[in-house]
Amino acid sequence: MYIKKTLLSSCLLGAFSSLAADNLTNSDPLTPYQWHLNNTGQNSFTTDTVAGKDLNLLNTDMQGIRGDGVTVTIIDSGIELSHPDLVNNVTAGSLNLLTSTATPTDNTGHGTAVAGIIAAQANNNIGGRGVAPQANIVGFNYLDAQSTSNWLQSHGMPLTGSANSRVYNQSYSSKPALFTNVDAEHALSLQLKERVMQQVSLNSNNSLGALFVKSAGNAFYQYTTFIGDTQFQVFPYEQQQQFNNAGLPFHNANLSADNASFWNMLVSAYNANGKLASYSSVGANVFLTAPGGENAQSQAGIVTTDISGCNAGFNTIDSTTDNPLQNTGLDSHCDATAAMYGTSAAAANTSGAIALVMSANPQLDARTIKHILASTARKLDANNTGVDINFTDNYGDATRYNAIPGWQQNAAGYNFHTFYGLGAIDVDAAVTMAQNTTSSLPALHISNWHSKNTPLTIPDANVNGVQDTLAITDNLTIEAVQLKLSIDHARMRDLAIELISPSGTRSVLLSPRTGLINAADTPVQNALLLSQHFYGESAAGQWKIRLIDTDNGTSQTLLYSEQTGLLSMNETNNSVDGTLLSWSLRFYGH
């Protein structure tokens, strides 16, 4: 997620004297503070961390596996390619999309920070180090020039130039207030991007392919969006309290159509205590979770590279979080920062981890690497029980709905949680599995869409909701499931959407109390959602969809801008029941 520079609170200089020893094989001054690489319970400029809540890569590093031969393309705000901790890992292919030169200048520090998390050089006595400190990096300043042609060029098309990248890091995410009609004419660019990512994912690098890593978003509690030319802050109102959303994500990651793409590996963020980061967007489409840190006012951020010098980027003479780096001589030139955080950082940590696994066995294709990461992911926050919400149903009775389940093991033996996907990345386990893997997954098969078009009534404020079934004969081992549906409902924020597999695994693809804004009573057409919850299960059998209206009108969505002041959406309950107009399923698997 794109993070603007923020001035953060001061931290204690005395923390440096009690820092635990660093076990990574390097001589860089800031690596002992990089808890995401090796969390020993150290104090990382703000508060103590919890030992073991990290990428678990010590054994990999001791083997000398550090990303050699793997190129990562960083699609961001640009990169300071001449940065002393990055310059030796820069390879040909970077492009400034504004000037058509080979220097994608970074004006914010965001892309440079992302690049450092992935591949800052180790053992050079400068700053910290990257997850994959010997990987190659290529950069594009796409966030400054967001045209379709620039998207294509930065994401590997044509299959030349940057298409020799094995990993594409996208530390950004959109936050729409409405579902996108993925079959509409105006969605042609989205359909084009799908075809391009499929091509690059499967056919680049002599058919070894590549992985697209993407941030889930930073909108758990609120988000900003444009309606016309006006930017609004959008936030929930529950039980007469602003920003109260009953413990549920206000902006489910599945609301963004590109986040529902099979080709994007979506990543949520956890903090140095091993809990979901306070800001992290979540959803059934999250594949894995990785370290993202917190705003350093409260907990540890991520230590990484910053724009050189003390006049730009995160680390300036005014940055209270980074003053200790300057004052103690750890970073007197302001070339690093301890203030990076977000699902941007989580995506970067994931891209670095992928580079390590790929370098451990360069013969494996991208889908097999993805499968290895899924198979070795660890349960994080194992006692997290999810979220139940209480509401008064249409009969006036108090009722409860399990809006986000706790950790569940699906029929194929994979653990899943809406907050964490299939779990936290475990680099050492993934590298070991890669080293012992001698064959790739069978060829990918993408099923046709299987559809039902019989309209069904969605009863208001009824925990039983409405359900429908669809018989599937595709004999596939699932890698992901897409759901496309059309709904006519006046208060979309009330709805929960569940998909239940033939094996009985229940996945909540859209949690209720989302920040959706209905547009003039226009039905939702061809909305796309994705679930990773069924990974490894069989597609064949009877699938069930359930839609549950979980509110009788007590919650609202609020919008604020300086031009309009405070506005309320969905203040009154829907006067008529909603309707499920149609739904379709598509399966990716082998």
Catalytic residues: 76, 110, 344
Strands (E), 217-285: 223-227, 230-238, 241-242, 264-270
The answer to whether the Cα torsion of 236, 486, 510, 194 is positive or negative is: negative
**Cα dihedral 35/40/44/47 (nearest 10):** 120
Asked whether the beta carbons of 222 and 250 are under 8 A apart, the reply is yes
The two beta strands, 565-569 and 241-242, are unpaired
CA distances from 2 to 200, 217, 559 (A): 24, 9, 21
246 neighbors 266 (Cβ within 8 angstroms): no
Beta strands in 477-534 (DSSP E): 478-488, 495-500, 506-510, 524-531
Distance, CA of 423 to CA of 232 (rounded, Å): 34
Q: How far apart are CA 581 and CA 578, in angstroms?
A: 9
- DSSP per residue over 531-554, as a string? E-TTTTSB--EEEEEEEEE--SS-
Residue type present at position 54: D
CA-wise closest residue to 494 among 518, 477, 478: 518
**CA proximity to 477, closest of 531, 539, 419, 423:** 539
Q: Helix 427-435 and helix 366-376: axis angle, to 10°?
A: 130
| 129 touches 34 (CB < 8 A) | yes
d(CA 290, CA 376): 13
Instruction: Give the integer Cα–Cα distance in Å for 407 and 125.
Output: 42
Are 369 and 479 contacting, i.e. CB atoms less than 8 angstroms apart?
A: no
Block residue for tokens 């504004």: 98
104 and 97 in contact (C-beta within 8 Å)? yes
| Distance in angstroms (rounded) separating the CA atoms of residues 305 and 337 | 6
Task: Give the sign of the dihedral formed by CA 130, CA 134, CA 135, CA 139.
Answer: positive
